[in-house]
Structure 1
Amino acid sequence: MAKWGEGDPRWIVEERPDATNVNNWHWTEKNATPWSKERLPQLFTDFKIEQQDIECVVDSVDKCNGEATVNNRKGKLIFFYEWELVLKWSGRLLKNSNLSHKGKLTIPNLSEENDLEDVEITVTIDESNDESETLKQFMYNVGRERIRNQLGVYIKELKEEYSKNLILPKKDANSSDSTAEANDAKNAKNAAQKAASLPSAAAAPKSSSNSSAARSVGCKLDVRTLSMTEEFHCNANDLYNALTKPEMVTAFTRAPAKVDAVRGGEFVLYGGNVLGKFEELVPEKKIQQSWRLKNWSSGHYSNVVIELEETSSSTMMTLKQTGIPASEYDAMRTNWYRYYWHSIKQTFGFGSSISDAL
Structure 2
Amino acid sequence: MAKWGQGDPRWIVEERADATNVNNWHWTERDATSWSKSKLKEVLVGLAVEGEAGRCEISDLKHVEGEASCSSRKGKLIFFYEWNLRLSWKGTVKESGEKHKGSVEIPNLSEENEVDDTEINVSKKKGEGDALKDLMRTEGTTKVREALRGYLKALKTEFTLGMILPTKATVGQELAAERKLSGSTVQDSGLPQSLDIVGVKIPTVKILMREIFNSPADELYSIFTTKDLVQKFSKCPAVINAEKGGKLQMFDGCVSGEYAELVPSQRIVLKWRCRNWPDEHYATVALQFKDMAAQTELQLECKGVPVSHEDSTRQCWKKQHFEEIHVLLQQPPDSME
TM-score w.r.t. structure 2 length? 0.49
Q: Greater share of strand residues, 1 or 2?
A: 2
Q: Greater share of helix residues, 1 or 2?
A: 1
Relative contact order: is structure 1 or structure 2 higher (C-alpha 8 Å, sep ≥ 6)?
1
TM-score w.r.t. structure 1 length? 0.47
